[in-house]
Structure formats: C-alpha cells, structure tokens
C-alpha cells in the first residue's frame, strides 16, 4: 500500500521540531546530542541498561483520552517513534542558578558525585513526580530500578528524593486541593505536572518547556485516531545497505497490508530488543513498521474465563491492568495472574517496562524470557493474523519452535493473547533467579501449574515450564506427566528430580554456563512450589522451619544514619559543602568530554579490533571500509611519524611502542595480535555511526596461535612477566633482608603447633565508570602543537605518550581535563592509549578527531581489576596466636605489564590486613596472558591481599572451632609494632575503631539473634560478621608522591583562580581544594574558582590515584595560598577594617605578585624492596564494618539487611563528601565480592561480560537496607593537610564484609546438611556459588563433570 511521506513532527522541551528527512535508524539520544546540541542527556551503555540517557516522554493515549508521562531510554528509542509526542530532557527542568526542586534536592543531599548518571536519575524521579500517588519510599526505589550509579552507594539519592516528595502536599492547580492523593476525582484533565503535582516549594516551577505544548494537545484532541504515514531516509543510511523506510500504519488492517507487501519488515514498538540488535549486531532491515500507536493492539478485555491482552500493551500498562483484574475476581481465579505480576515486578527497569510491549517480548522468543514460561504453563493462546492466513489461534505450548523461532508464518502479526483464569484447586506460581534481583535477565525462570485434590492431595494435572534450560522455552514433559496421579508430599520433589534432569540434559559445556546451578534451580523452584501449595491447603502442613522457602527474600524498609563532627569555629575546612559541580551536574550543565561542542571540521574514529586472542596478522584490507560514504581514512602504525617496519618492539625509540612503566604495548598491532579487541587500526569518518559501520568492514586475515587466558593456564605454561617480588620477615628473611636475630627469636617458628593450608581465587572487576574512555585531539595548525582533551586521571602521562608517538616535544602537547564521569583507576593509564591512537589520526588528517568508546569497546579494551590466586600456609598456636604466613600471590596481568607489578606489591603489603604475624614469606608474580591488560582499580591490589588475609584468619578460627572475632582480636596489631615490611605503626587507633563498630552495631546481641533465626529456618539463613581494614596511604612509586599548584588573585575584584595537578572524577577533590584555598586566604568560597586541570598550568603532575590526591594537592594549594597571604599580611595589618578586594587592590598598586605556585612532596618515604626496610607508607587509614545478610539456600539469592561502618579518617575536610566516598566505595566493594563477575570464553578469549546486560553492578536495592556510617571523632593526622586522612580507597574492602557474612550464613546451611568442615568459597560469592556451597541433596543430583578435555562455556580469568 502507498503511505503518505511526511516530515517528522514532535516537540522537545516545548520547542517544535520538524525534520523533513529523518533517519529511521537514528536513536533519540543521537538526535538530541548531535542535532539539537542537548548534551545533558548522557550515553552510558547504548542498551538501556544504565539509565543515563533517561528522558520523559509525554504521549497521547486514546483509551485514556489524555497524555501520559513515562521515563524512556533515549539510547533505544528511535527518533521516528517520537512523532506526535513531547520529549522533556534535563535542560528543561531548571538551571544551576534556578534549579527545579528535584534537581536541588539531589544536589543538596550530596547525591551527585561524578555526575554522569545524574541527569538520567533526575529524569526518572521527575517522571515519578508526574505520576506519584502515594507510597513514596517504595516508589522512589522502584522508579529508579532502571538507573545505575557507580559513585554514591545510592543512599543520598533515595534520601534526597524521599524527603522532597514526602514533605510535599498534593495540590491541584485547578481546585487548590487534592482529595485523592494526587488522583483527581473532579472533571479536571489532570494530565501533566501543572495539573497534579507534589510540591517542595510553594508550587513546582511553571515552565513552557515541560508542559505538553498546546499545539500538540489540540492536535490530538481534534483527531484522536492515529494517522497513516511513512518516513523515508533522504540518503543512504549509515546503518543499512540502502535507504530505510519507517511505516506508521493508522490501523490494524493497514499494518497487515504493509506486512503483506514487506514480509521481512521489522515491527517496532519499544525497540528494546531490536534497538540492541541494530546497535550491536548491525541488524539490517529496509522497512520498519511502528505499531505502538495502534489502539487495536492495546486493548485489555476481561471475560468470564480469562483476560484478552493486546500485543501492543506495554508491560507497565500490563501490570496496572492485571492488578485491577486481580481485585475483581475470585482468589483461586487470580493465581495465574499473580504469577505474572510476580515476574513483572522484576522484569527489566522502569524505562524498559514503560515502552516494551507484550507482543515484542513474546515474538523475540528469548529462551530466558521472564514471561514466556508463564504463558506456556497457563495454557495461554496466541491470536495471530495476516492477509494470507487470516486469524489463527496458536496455543503457547506450540508457539516456540526453536532458538529465537516461533510458529508465525511469513507476514503474520501477533494480535493478542488470551490468559485463562486458574480454576478451583489449580495452583500456579512463577519463579526467576538472576545475578541481580532488579533489572536483570534471568539465569533460570520457571512457571508451574498443578491441579491438586485438597482431600486426597492427588495431582490430576501438571505443567512444569522453564526458561534458561534449553534453546527455547520448554515444558518438562516427562516430569509433568510423571506427576499426574502422584500425591503431593514431602518426598515428591526427590521423586521427580531424576525425571526432571532427563527432561533437561545439559553437558558441562552447555551454552550459558552455570550448568549445575541451573539444574539446581529447576529442582529448587519446584521444591518451593510444593511447599507453597502445601501451605495454601493447610497452614499446619508445612513445618515451621521450612516455611521460609515459600516467600522471596524481602528487603526491609530503607533507613540510614551518618555520624560525624563539623568544626564549631565556623571554619570552612571541615564543613559539608556540596560538591563544587553538583548544581551543574543535576541540571545537565556540567560538561564532559563528549559534550564539548563539535569543531567545524571535526572527524570521528572507531577502532578496527582483533577478533583473535593470539594470532599472526597475515593481511589487513580496509578497501571495503574506504568505499563507505563519509569515511575519510584508515589509520595504522604506518601513519605514525618516524615509524618504520623494521623497528623492533624492544626499541625504546619505536614510536608505536608505549606503556606507563614498561614500554611493551603497540598503539596499533602490526605483526601479531595478543588479545581479542586489540586495536589494529582506526577508521575515521564524518560521524560516529559511519566510523563504527565501516570499521566492521575492514578484513583481517590471521594465523591463529595458542592463547594463554587464565591464571591457571599461565602457571601451567610458565607464562609470567620477568619480575618476581619477594617480601620476607622474621625467620624467613635472607641476605640483606636480615636486620636482627631478635626479630626471628621473639616468637620462634617452632611456636606454631598447628597449620592450615588453602587457597583463595578472586575474580576481576569491571570499572564500569558511567562515562567511557574518550579523547578529542585538536591540531593547532602551527609549531606541531596539539590540544588533547581527555577523560583521564593522568594528564601528564597522556602528554608524554602523545609526545612520544607523534615525535614532538612535550611542550607542544597540552592535555586538558575538565571532569571525568568516573575513573576508579581505569583511566589512570588505559585512557592514554586511546589519546595516542586518536592523535595519530589527527596528525595525518590535520583535523580534530574525536572518539568516545562505546560501552562494549571500553569493556573489551580497558581491562579490569586484577584477578588473583592466593595460596597460603599459616602457622599458629593452640591459643590461636599467629606465628607464620607463607603466601604465593598470582595476578592475571593480561598481555602487557601496565601497573601490574605495583598492584602485586600493594597486595603483598596488605596481606596482613590488621594482624601481627612474626614470620612472613610472600612471593608475588604477574601472569602474562592473552587478555586486555589489567590495570589500576580502586584499592590497587590492597583488597585482593586483604581478601586472602581474611580467608586464612577465618580458616584458622574454623580449625580451632572458635569465633573468628576472638582470633582477630588476639592478633590485632598493637601500637608501634612492625608490619611485615617493617614499618612501625606509630599512630595506631584501630582498637578504638573496632570497639566502636562492635558497640554501635550491637554485634553480640545481633549475633545471638542471627543464631536463633537460623535454628528456626531451614531455607533462609542469616550471617553476621565484623571485619577490619588497614590501608596504607602513598604511591609505592616514590616519585609520584608530589604535587604542584598555581594560584592567581585578580586585582580587579579579588577573585581567586586555583589550578592543581589532580583531576576531578566525582571524588570532590576540586571542592576540597577550594575549601583549603578559601581558608588559607581568609575569603568565602564564592571568591574561589577552579576551572580545569591542564598540563599548561601545572606540569609534571602525578596521576589522580592512590587516595593521596587531597593530601598532596591540598598541601600544594595551601602552600601557594599561604605565600600570597603572607604577601598581603602587611596590608591587612595596616588596614584591619579593609575588605579583601581593597587589600588586593592595594597590593596590586604596590606591584606585589598576586600569583604563587605551591609544591609539596610527602616526606620520609624511604622503603627499599631489596632490604625490606624503610617507610613504605605515609600513614594508614583504618576502618571496620559489621554486616548482616540473609540468603535463600534454595536459590542463592541474598539481601544485605544492615551495615555499620566506622572509619578513622582524621579530621575530615568535608564530611559529606567523605561519607559519600565511604558509602560509594563500600557499594563498589560489595559488588566486587558478590554479583560482579567478569567472564571470558575459555576457548576463544572473548569477553562475555561487556555491557550492563551481562555484567551487573549493584543497583538501588542491592546496597544495605539499613546503612550506617560513623566517622571517628577527635582523630587527627599530623602527616596530611588539615589533619585529614585519605578516604577514596580504604573503605572499599569493607564491602567484602558482605562476602564473609554470606559465608557465615552458608556455614549454617551446611551445618544443617551435615557438612561441618572448612569449605572454600571463591570471590565473588555469586548466587550460583552460594547455592552450590549450601551442599544439600540437590547439589549431588545435579553434579555435572567434564568429559575428557571439555571446557565450560565461560570462566573467570
């Protein structure tokens, strides 16, 4: 059929947008950022998994005859889908000078650190405020389940929004009141924020930018039925072979006609699946059909025997409609509906549910769909239609015919499904288990329906259906048939388990991995179901201790407390000043690298990356890529100035070889690739999309070589970097390490009458900063000058390496950093490599070149926290006093050295945690593997060393059958004792920290309560642990312990400009520097400004890392300001009443220098690894945490009930910022040791976890429900600025208290199952490991061993 071609017509922030030739393949976020220059909306992942791109979309609903307002992922929404709608972005709400109350609430609650995720979070909360009807705390958490934050730990975000919304009366702008909690009972058209609002001030700000435009409203009111039209791209689309058509049918009949004409067309609704396939899998289709506006597909009809639901009903609407159905029917009839609702509440995030439609989820035929098993189990019928076949009804049990395949014929469309009500004596339930409870795809899901005679307990019908157990949604036919005629009893699960395993045969290498766990879940879910039915039939039929299996783990209501001390003398240092950029971040005004306005001639780059883990390069052919319209060139090593093919990789003058410490990496691979994703070249084009498309067309031929991938592979192959570190003390010391015979004699080795041996495997961790690595290199056009804008923690290293690659002096390269959207160590060195590659392109093409890595590219290229393997042997006395530690540490370094040696050194130095060990021998080695090089990550090896320490201290306690708390306290360091690297602990306050955490957490009382709970519950167990930490503060590379600063005072108005060597990445460094400067100069902070970090103002900067940036840069700023203050002192003495501005003017007129530089180096750092003598660290930051968790022993699910943290951080420069660092570090540490698990293919070396879909960081409802932080009062530190202490990294390891609390809970489950021996639990404690470690009879049934050399589908590196 012929559709009218019309322009795209929609509104953004109240402004009308008319685009005559829209690109159907363009996403809303690209349109907003590139075409409309609205850069407040951020691109974090491109797959709808992080929420950074959230906007509010107001669309007309024909059924409601009004506009509805929903949060939407702009990265997935095609811009063409916005026709006839109104988009509100962060820019519309308010400005830094006049913020919206929601923006102000987040800023003043200290809920924005790096700020990259903040606009998306604000927009989710804003969308909630448009629809809020009461349950504030629950709704705040629920509305944000599609948003991630890597910095804050979430507490201040929820707290800020909750306080704002709870304090706001509901006021109707029409009548002046609201009698129904925001739901208008009058005839008012309450359809936008101006009609029904939650108010924080006297009234929400009225804004033409946020209201639905009158033109749009009147258009829909005049003609409510959707129109028929088509968009057709004007030129060849960058994402398809030819132009793409976007069809918008106005009716179901038109949809069927279009499908008949274009049978291969793709139907788009929410685009939550197709959008990912387009962006990441280069899906091609010449025709897209947008069906989301069709009323015929949105109908929900309740009938006598069930519910008919249109295929176009969104999941949010489905939830709403089904809840109404449940309230209107008999209880027994609603059981199937309740099963659907149970899984819907954990289905994706709010933004996805708002646009994803029922039909789309069914048609994708995902084997892990949360809903498809329910449709099959409930005997749901699908209604499909086409012009050729008419209307057909297909039972859902026959609908899924293979992997991602359905029973639909060509051109058929799913119209609706019919969900029958459950009958009397029918029981239905659905289950799901994922890595993370909210917003995560299932590992396994299941839906069960049984008909049970309540008098005889005989089963007359059974349907057991699973997802995640086969290539498609599958009904366990044999098990279902087996159950018929059986009696519902306690032994039924055991009886059916063997049959169930035959229904779902899975080998050791089955795709998806986690084979034993998936099998265990299938049995465990059915076990829960049986107990559920028994409890429904008779409250007394389920034993008290087994009832805990019936309900999911419930996270308690959120609560929190922070205890700290602020100065009473009014000093600005020590006050909780809000983050310097907070107001800019909450309003979208804060500029990140990819927000920098485009240069007129700017080009964009994309890597050509290796597909092999280890191979020789035989041929690189970019010819096909160079044919793509818009491509400007292919860049390789040949384009590096001074590079020659005969240069050796060992040649220090080879400009293609770079590295932070050891130059052992190629900018562009030349003869050999050594990991999957290694850059071979760059495609440069006129747009990011064109560059990405063309980069996939470059042909590379390889000769494969055998890769080494894991630590175990490396040990077996002897693949190590040629640097072995040894740390020995006491009787183990040899040669120059021996300083005193007395050291070995005080507690002789022979005192150890008992020994334990074991090992601890610790996985890596993705940095997952929300802003990916990005670089923009601008040739200045003369004298070989280049300006490098980089998202880096290390401007000087960037400058030096770009200088080396381009062959120009460093004084011609200026590196500028405004702010980072998170770093965590991942941008300390790895960012430099991106800048070098982009610089080569800018040099060759003589134009600015920009490259912001996609999330997938970043996770493939940038490496992770180092995976570790620790093998220990510990000697101790019968009393439990430690005598000796022999430890081998192996770190997976990846393909190059990077910072791995320093990471291993810190792991070795922290392998004591807080425990005195007289005799220590530690060997540290870096494994060389064919993976992306692993790099710095918050803690820098310290957490891995301490994790091994906690393993052996727990092992010692377990072997003695004593409380680990007793063994800890027996071995705590005492004042002035020497560490194993012989540094005296001369400022030790740890016992006070420990005492406070034990008291404030009420540890002993709660431990007794946990033990009582565990006695009463079989399938849910609790664990509680108190755990310490000690973190050394200094760069172990002595040279980096220095910093410079430059301070200017301007005579015209007395304003102050501060620059220093540190970069701002959310940790509040710039804010603290302004507080220090204001205090030193005696001016209000409003007088002080800090713009950016630049190598042109402060040279030779150290990386912003090691938690020491506030110490060294703060001292440098303080010294510079004090120098200026000393010059102004005579004028202040002579004019005590004069204003600051007058004093400055007087000094200027007297020709006094109003500029000063400051410099500071940390004193007394003298450690020598050869002799194991000298001072390694400037000082130590101490902390302790008490954490209580609850686990589900049948699924491995867990929830963190409460955490109490006590930190000694000296005298805080800014308590609110420091508490934010503590909470954020804890959440990151919690993720590292529980749900974050980087996985690779053991066969190919491909990174499997390369986006939020597969890699899970903690979300809003993963952090402790009760989160308490206490900063020790009255503590001082003479070795840092203003008596403060470093706080960025030290608290991270306290997140591991979750791991040890989980293990404590597992221990109780194992005890119930007759297992009382020490058991090994590797890190992270994923749901899989928790479940299998519980060691019940099910784990024996599901045992699956490899056959021959069979490898698992995935593994840790």
Give the residue from 1107, 706, 670, 744 showing the smallest Cα distance to 919: 744
Q: What whole-number distance in Å separates Cα of residue 933 and Cα of residue 679?
A: 13
- Residues 560 and 155 sit within 8 Å (Cβ to Cβ): yes
Alpha-carbon gap, residue 212 to 434, rounded angstroms: 39
Strand, coil or helix: 871: strand
Angle, to 10 degrees, between the axis of helix 101-108 and the axis of helix 155-166? 140
1298, 1189 Cβ separation under 8 angstroms: yes
DSSP label at 888? E
List the one residue out of 952, 793, 974 whose CA is nearest residue 888: 952
Q: What is the Rg, in whole angstroms, of the alpha carbon atoms belonging to the chain?
A: 32
Return the residue matching tokens 């993720």.
1231
1316, HSE (Cβ side, Cα atoms, 13 Å) = 4
What sign results for the dihedral spanned by CA atoms 471, 477, 482, 487?
positive
Encoded tokens for 831: 């960012």
User: What are 227's two structure tokens?
Assistant: 């129109």
CA distance 1018 to 1287: 40
Handedness of CA 391, 392, 393, 397 (dihedral sign): negative
Name the 3-class secondary structure at 143: helix
Q: Yes or no: say if 322 and 337 are a contact pair by the CB < 8 Å rule.
A: yes
Nearest alpha carbon to residue 944 among 934, 933, 930, 957? 934
817 bridge partner residues: 1093
Q: Pick the catalytic residue: 26, 1289, 1328, 1356?
A: 1289
> CA–CA distance from 668 to each of 671, 678, 805 (Å)?
10, 8, 11
CA distance 1024 to 46: 39
- The rounded distance, in Å, linking the Cα atoms of 728 and 751 is 18
700: part of which helix (H) or strand (E)? strand 699-704
Structural contact between residues 128 and 140, judged by C-beta atoms closer than 8 angstroms: yes
Encode 531-566 in three state secondary structure. HHHHHHHCCCCCCHHHHHHCCCCCCCCCEEEEECCC
| Angle, alpha carbons 943-946-948 (nearest 5°) | 110
Phi, psi of 671 (to 5 degrees): -110, -20
Q: How far is C-alpha 1159 from the chain's CA centre?
A: 37
Give the residue ranges of DSSP H helices in 1199-1262: 1215-1233
List, in order, residues 6 or more apart from 1005 with CB less than 8 Å away. Answer: none
741 catalytic? Reply is no
Of the candidates 242, 277, 249, 130, the residue with the CA atom closest to the CA atom of residue 197: 130
Question: Would you say 244 and 233 are in contact if contact means Cβ atoms under 8 Å apart?
Answer: yes
Report the distance separating Cα 1354 and Cα 480, nearest Å.
31
Which residue is associated with the tokens 């979300």?
1259
Which residues are CB-contacts of 212 (< 8 A; sequence separation ≥ 6)? Answer: 58, 67, 86, 191, 192
Please give the structure tokens belonging to residue 924: 């540290």
Q: Work out whether strand 306-310 and strand 413-420 pair parallel, antiparallel, or are unpaired.
A: antiparallel
Which helix (H) or strand (E) covers residue 1325, if one does? none
CB 94 within 8 A of CB 100: yes
Cα–Cα distance for residue pair 756/748, rounded to 1 Å: 18
Catalytic residues: 1289
């Amino acid at each position: 059929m012929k559709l009218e071609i019309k322009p795209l017509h929609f509104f953004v922030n109240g402004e009308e947008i008319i685009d005559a030739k829209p690109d159907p393949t363009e996403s809303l976020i690209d349109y907003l950022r590139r075409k409309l220059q609205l850069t407040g909306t951020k691109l974090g992942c491109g797959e709808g998994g992080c929420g950074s791109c959230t906007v509010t979309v107001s669309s007309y609903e024909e059924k409601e005859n009004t506009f509805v307002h929903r949060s939407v992922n702009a990265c997935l929404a095609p811009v063409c889908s916005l026709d006839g709608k109104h988009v509100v972005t962060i820019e519309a709400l308010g400005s830094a000078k006049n913020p919206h109350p929601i923006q102000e609430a987040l800023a003043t609650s200290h809920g924005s650190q790096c700020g990259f995720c903040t606009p998306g979070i604000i927009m989710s909360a804003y969308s909630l405020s448009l629809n809020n009807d009461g349950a504030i705390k629950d709704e705040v958490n629920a509305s944000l389940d599609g948003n991630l934050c890597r910095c804050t730990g979430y507490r201040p975000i929820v707290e800020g929004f909750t306080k704002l919304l709870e304090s706001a009366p509901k006021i109707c702008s029409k009548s002046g009141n609201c009698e129904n909690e925001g739901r208008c009972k009058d005839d008012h058209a309450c359809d936008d924020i101006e009609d029904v609002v939650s108010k924080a001030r006297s009234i929400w700000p009225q804004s033409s930018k946020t209201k639905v435009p009158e033109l749009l409203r009147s258009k829909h009111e005049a003609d409510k039925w959707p129109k028929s039209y088509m968009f057709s791209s004007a030129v060849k689309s960058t994402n398809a072979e030819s132009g793409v058509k976007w069809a918008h049918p106005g009716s179901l009949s038109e949809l069927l006609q279009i499908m008949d004409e274009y049978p291969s067309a793709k139907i788009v609704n929410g685009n939550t699946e197709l959008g990912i396939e387009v962006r990441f899998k280069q899906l091609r289709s010449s025709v897209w059909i947008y069906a989301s506006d069709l009323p015929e597909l949105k109908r929900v009809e309740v009938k006598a025997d069930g519910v008919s639901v249109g295929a176009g009903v969104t999941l949010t609407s489905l939830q709403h409609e089904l809840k109404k159905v449940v309230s209107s029917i008999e209880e027994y009839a609603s059981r199937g509906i309740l099963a659907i609702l149970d899984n819907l509440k954990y289905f994706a995030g709010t933004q996805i549910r708002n646009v994803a439609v029922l039909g789309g989820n069914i048609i994708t035929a995902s084997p892990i769909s949360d809903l498809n098993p329910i449709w099959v189990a409930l005997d749901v019928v699908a209604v499909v239609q086409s012009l050729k076949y008419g209307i057909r009804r297909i039972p859902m049990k026959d609908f899924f015919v293979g992997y991602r395949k359905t029973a639909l014929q060509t051109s058929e469309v799913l119209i609706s499904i019919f969900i029958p009500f459950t009958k009397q004596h029918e029981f239905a339930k659905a289950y799901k288990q994922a890595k993370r409870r909210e917003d995560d795809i299932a590992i396994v899901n299941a839906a069960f329906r049984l008909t049970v005679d309540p008098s005889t307990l005989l089963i007359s019908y059974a349907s057991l259906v699973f997802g995640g157990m086969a290539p498609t949604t599958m009904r366990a036919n044999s098990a279902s048939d087996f159950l018929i005629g059986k009696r519902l009893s306690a032994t039924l699960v055991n009886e059916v388990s063997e049959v169930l395993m035959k229904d779902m045969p899975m080998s050791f290498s089955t795709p998806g991995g986690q084979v034993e766990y998936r099998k265990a879940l299938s049995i465990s879910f059915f076990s829960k179901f049986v107990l559920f039915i028994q409890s429904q039939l008779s409250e007394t039929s389920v034993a008290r201790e087994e009832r805990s299996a019936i309900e999911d783990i419930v996270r308690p209501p959120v609560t929190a407390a922070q205890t700290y001390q602020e100065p009473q003398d009014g000093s600005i240092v020590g006050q909780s000043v809000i983050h310097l950029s907070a107001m800019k971040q909450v309003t979208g005004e804060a500029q990140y690298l990819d927000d920098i306005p485009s240069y007129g001639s700017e080009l964009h780059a994309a890597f050509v990356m290796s597909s092999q883990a280890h191979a020789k390069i035989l041929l690189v052919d970019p010819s096909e890529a160079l044919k793509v319209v818009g491509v400007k060139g292919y860049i390789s090593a040949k384009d590096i100035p001074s590079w020659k093919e005969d240069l050796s990789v060992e040649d220090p003058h080879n400009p293609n070889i770079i590295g932070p410490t050891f130059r052992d990496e190629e900018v562009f691979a030349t003869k050999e690739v050594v990991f999957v994703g290694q850059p071979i070249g760059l495609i440069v084009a006129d747009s990011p999309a064109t560059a990405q498309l063309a980069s996939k067309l470059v042909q590379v031929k390889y000769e494969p070589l055998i890769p080494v991938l894991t630590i175990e592979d490396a040990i077996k192959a002897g693949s190590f970097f040629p640097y072995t570190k040894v740390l020995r003390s006491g009787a183990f010391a040899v040669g120059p390490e021996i300083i005193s015979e007395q050291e070995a004699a005080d507690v002789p080795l022979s005192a150890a009458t008992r020994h334990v041996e074991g090992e601890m495997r610790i996985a890596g961790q993705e940095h997952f900063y929300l802003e990916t690595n990005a670089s923009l290199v601008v040739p200045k056009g003369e004298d070989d000058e280049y300006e490098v804008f980089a998202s880096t923690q290390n401007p000087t290293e960037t400058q030096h390496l770009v200088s080396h690659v381009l062959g120009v002096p460093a004084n011609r390269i200026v590196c500028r950093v405004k702010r980072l959207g998170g770093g965590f160590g991942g941008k300390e060195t790895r960012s430099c490599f991106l800048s070098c590659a982009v610089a080569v392109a800018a040099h060759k093409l003589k134009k600015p070149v920009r490259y912001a890595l996609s999330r997938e590219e970043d996770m493939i290229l940038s490496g992770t926290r180092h995976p570790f393997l620790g093998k220990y042997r510990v000697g101790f006395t019968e009393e439990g006093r430690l005598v000796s530690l022999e430890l081998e540490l192996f770190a997976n370094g990846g393909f190059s050295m990077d910072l791995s040696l320093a990471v291993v050194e810190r792991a070795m130095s922290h392998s004591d945690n807080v425990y005195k060990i007289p005799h220590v021998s530690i060997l540290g080695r870096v494994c060389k593997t064919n993976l992306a090089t692993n790099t710095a990550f918050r803690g820098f090896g310290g957490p891995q060393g301490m994790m091994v320490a906690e393993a052996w201290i727990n092992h010692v306690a377990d072997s003695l059958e004593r409380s680990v708390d007793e063994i800890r306290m027996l071995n705590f360091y005492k004042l002035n004792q020497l560490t194993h690297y012989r540094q005296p602990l001369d400022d030790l306050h740890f016992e006070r920290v420990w005492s406070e955490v034990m008291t404030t957490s009420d540890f002993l009382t709660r431990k007794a309560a946990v033990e009582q709970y565990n006695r009463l519950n079989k399938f849910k167990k609790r664990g509680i642990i108190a755990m310490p930490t000690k973190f050394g503060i200094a760069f172990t590379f002595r040279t980096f312990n220095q910093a410079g600063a430059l301070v200017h005072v301007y005579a015209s108005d007395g304003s102050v400009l501060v620059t220093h060597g540190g970069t701002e990445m959310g940790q509040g460094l710039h804010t603290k520097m302004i507080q220090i400067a204001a205090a030193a100069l005696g001016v209000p902070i409003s007088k002080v400004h800090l713009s950016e970090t630049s190598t042109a103002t402060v040279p030779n900067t150290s990386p912003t890392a090691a938690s020491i940036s506030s110490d060294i840069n703060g001292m440098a700023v303080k010294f510079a300001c004090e120098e200026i203050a000393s010059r102004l002192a005579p004028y202040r003495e002579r004019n005590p009443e004069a204003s600051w501005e007058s004093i400055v003017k007087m000094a200027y007129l007297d020709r006094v220098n109003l500029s000063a530089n400051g410099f500071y180096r940390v004193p007394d750092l003298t450690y020598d690894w050869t002799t194991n003598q000298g001072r390694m660290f400037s000082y130590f930051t101490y902390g302790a945490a008490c954490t209580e968790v609850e686990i589900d022993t049948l699924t491995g699910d867990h929830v963190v009930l409460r955490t109490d943290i006590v930190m000694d951080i000296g005298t805080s420069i800014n308590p609110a910022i420091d508490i934010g660092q503590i909470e954020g570090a804890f959440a990151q540490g919690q993720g590292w040791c529980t749900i974050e698990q980087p996985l690779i293919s053991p066969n190919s070396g491909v990174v499997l976890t390369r986006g939020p879909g597969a890699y899970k960081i903690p979300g809003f409802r993963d952090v402790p429900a009760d989160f308490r932080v206490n900063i020790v009062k009255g503590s001082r530190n003479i070795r840092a600025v203003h008596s403060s202490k470093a706080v960025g990294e030290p608290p991270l390891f306290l997140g591991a208290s979750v791991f040890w609390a989980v293990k404590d809970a597992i221990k109780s489950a194992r005890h119930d199952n007759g297992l009382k021996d020490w058991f090994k639990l590797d890190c992270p404690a994923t749901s899989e490991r928790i479940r299998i470690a519980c060691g019940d009879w099910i784990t024996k049934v599901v045992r699956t061993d490899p056959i021959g050399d069979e490898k698992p589908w995935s593994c840790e590196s």
